[in-house]
Amino acid sequence: MNKITDLTVHELIEKLANKELTITEITQAYIDRINEKEKDVKAFITPLTDEALEKAKEIQAKVEAGELNGAFAGIPIGIKDNLCTKGVKTTCASKMLENFVSPYSATIVENIEKENIINLGKLNMDEFAMGSSTENSYFAKTRNPWNLNKVPGGSSGGSAAAVAANLVPWALGSDTGGSIRQPASLCGVVGLKPTYGLVSRFGLVAFASSLDQIGPITKDVKDAAMLLNLIAGHDEKDTTSVDVEKKDYVQALKNDVKGLKIAVPKEFFGEGINEEVKASLEKAIEKYKELGAEVEEVSLDIAKYALATYYIIACAEASSNLGRFDGIRYGYRAPEAKDLKEIFKKSRSEGFGPEVKRRIILGTYVLSSGYYDAYYKKAQQARTLVMKEFNKVFENYDVILTPTSPVTAFDIGSKSENPLEMYLADICTVSVNIAGLPGISIPCGVDSEGLPIGMQLIGNKFQEETILNAAYTYEQATNFRNTYKPEFKGGAN
């Protein structure tokens, strides 16, 4: 087994500092790993291995010459393909943007580049981040490294699978209704969706503006805290990014949950939640009690209408956000389009996949005259209600604990014919986006098929420190990573 690619980022940094490893060695190790495993996993849309090696050599030389320092210099990363990268294709896994090269980089991408972190490539996803399985990619279906016949989850399936398969040491994803946490759960890695407004969205191709957040997908909690340190903070280009005090999230990892008040909402463990998932979560709850946390069952009866609220708001915003893909300034233009209307209609109909079109239709419908009040306005009011209900719980508790996904990784193709069933995969995660709260998914066990199960910890606004520490303490006590490893079972079908 390739030792270097097994390491977490904080371990890599340590070995770089100790001169046990060089920057080029690390990048080369990942390139070798990609060459070996990518054909099975299909995590990348645009691999940048050659460019990454060039960059690694350049940074290595600068570090050796003493022209450059910084803990993260030369660490590789994978980036979800809905984050704009100047000079490199940004496709959103869509035919619409198959050849699109952004004229600018996302603020977060700039932050990463300032640290001399090396982009190993752009990662696969559901088209325009719409989906829970990464099957809605125009380019390829990413496979779950634990079982290649299973989906990796979505929409950041490429990011989660790449981290799980050690194709990248860590990755950036985006989360609108669970798109970081659910694939992290299905791939047995750590995924954090920050509080809405903690991370700049400038340069993240919008799906649903009031719900989207960028976040880390990592091998362990400490790496998630480190990557959050690099991406959190106000950006004057995004007025919804909040000007809050800069925190050191690594400092928050105390490995101690004594006295931490954890709420377990019984409604998140009811109908539709797989028994093995439930059992695994119950063990995790016992573990927290052992570690000194105070765990209590509460009622938080929002999951059902939170999902409806989510799909109405997300699709409404998406129907508007995706209007700019009109075949005029960039992106796909239907070659046979003769007049303006044909450019619009044919380019969009041929350039978007079925799920994107489905959501545009739903979103257009709920905003259209006569239905606005019944659906969109009602959903916005329900959104207020969801926030209020969460607030009530946070009056008495620090953390809310739920499953991340009601099921473990499912078979490729098993749900793609039934959109509503696919939407139910998000039942545990969407309410967090609706309320703008931070949530983290960490692995807490495997099912009888050996597929990972994820636990979601939800915090109050801007309380990333609390959930990171809770996740870290559990992780240190259980050590999932050393117990279970993806085995690349099955495949080739």
Partner 1 sequence: MSREDYELVVGVEVHAELSTKTKIFCSCPTTFGAAPNTQTCPICMAMPGTLPVLNEKVVEYAVKAGLATNCTISQDSKNDRKNYFYPDLPKAYQISQYDKPLCKEGYVEIDTKEGKKKIGIERIHIEEDTGKLNHDDFSGGSLLDLNRAGVPLIETVSKPDMRSIEEVDSYLRKLKSIFEYIEVSDCKMQEASFRADVNVSVHKPGEPFGTRTEMKGMDSFRSIARAIEYEKNRQIDVIEEGGTVYQETLRWDDVSGKTFPMRDKEDAEDYRYFPEPDLVAIKLSEEYIENIKNNLPELPESRKQRYLEEYKLSEKDANIITSSKYLSELFEGSIKVCNNPKAVNNWIISDISRILNETEMDPIEIPFDCNQLGKLVILIDKGTISSSIGKKVLEELFENPRDPEEIIKEKGWIQISDEGAIKEVVTKILEANPQSIADFKAGKDRALGFLVGQAMKETKGKANPQMLNKMFLEELNK
Partner 2 sequence: MQVSKEEILHIANLAMLDLNENEIEKYRENLNDILDFSETIKNAHTEDLDVTIGANEAKNIFRKDEVKKFEDTESLLQNAPSQAQNMFKIPKVIQ
* Residues carrying an active site annotation: 80, 155, 179
C-alpha 398/C-alpha 20 separation (Å) is 40
100 contributes a contact to partner 1 by CB under 8 A:
yes
335 contributes a contact to partner 1 by CB under 8 A:
no
Angular region, 291: left φ>0, alpha ψ -120 to 50, beta rest: alpha
In the bound complex, what is the minimum distance in angstroms from residue 436's beta carbon to partner 2?
A: 3
* Chosen from partner 2, partner 1, none, partner binding at 476 (C-beta under 5 to 8 Å by type): none
C-alpha 442/C-alpha 283 separation (Å) is 14
204 contributes a contact to partner 1 by CB under 8 A:
yes
Contact residue for partner 1 among 202, 249, 268, 472 (CB under 8 A): 202
- Judge contact between 457 and 440, C-beta under 8 A: yes
414 contributes a contact to partner 1 by CB under 8 A:
no
C-alpha 194/C-alpha 204 separation (Å) is 15
240 contributes a contact to partner 1 by CB under 8 A:
yes
Listed residue (275, 271, 279) closest to 445, CA to CA: 279
Contact residue for partner 2 among 327, 403, 438, 445 (CB under 8 A): 327
Which is closer to partner 1, CB of 237 or CB of 392?
Answer: 237
338 contributes a contact to partner 1 by CB under 8 A:
no
Is the link from the previous residue into 155 a cis peptide, with omega within 30 of 0? yes
Beta-strand runs (E) in 156-202: 170-175, 190-193
Sign of the Cα pseudo-torsion (125, 180, 451, 277, in order)? negative
- Judge contact between 173 and 159, C-beta under 8 A: yes
Question: CB atoms < 10 A from the CB of 19, how many?
Answer: 7
Which is closer to partner 2, CB of 160 or CB of 362?
Answer: 362
* Chosen from partner 2, partner 1, none, partner binding at 396 (C-beta under 5 to 8 Å by type): none
The sheet that has 170-175: what strands, in order across it?
Answer: 44-47, 118-123, 76-80, 170-175, 213-218, 190-193, 439-446, 452-459, 399-403, 261-265, 294-298
27-35, 140-148, 259-267, 379-387 -> range binding partner 2 (CB under 8 A): 379-387
**Within positions 385 to 414, which residues make up the interface with partner 2, using CB under 8 A?**
385, 387-388
DSSP 309-340: HHHHHHHHHHHHHGGG-SSSSSS---TT--SH
Residue type, 473: T
Instruction: Give how many residues touch partner 1 by CB under 8 A.
Output: 44
Residue 340 buriedness (CB in 10 A; 0-12 / 13-18 / 19+): exposed
* Chosen from partner 1, partner 2, none, partner binding at 101 (C-beta under 5 to 8 Å by type): partner 2
Contact residue for partner 1 among 223, 317, 389, 426 (CB under 8 A): 317
Q: Which residue ranges make up the site for partner 1 (CB under 8 A)?
A: 82-84, 90, 92, 97, 100, 102-104, 106, 201-206, 208-210, 236-240, 316-317, 319-320, 323-326, 328-330, 340, 344, 364, 367-369, 372, 376
The binding site for partner 2 (CB under 8 A) comprises 99-101, 103, 196-197, 210-211, 236, 239-240, 242, 304-305, 307-309, 311-312, 319, 323, 326-333, 337-341, 343-346, 348-349, 352, 354, 357-358, 360-362, 364-365, 368, 375, 377-385, 387-388, 419-420, 423, 433-436, 461
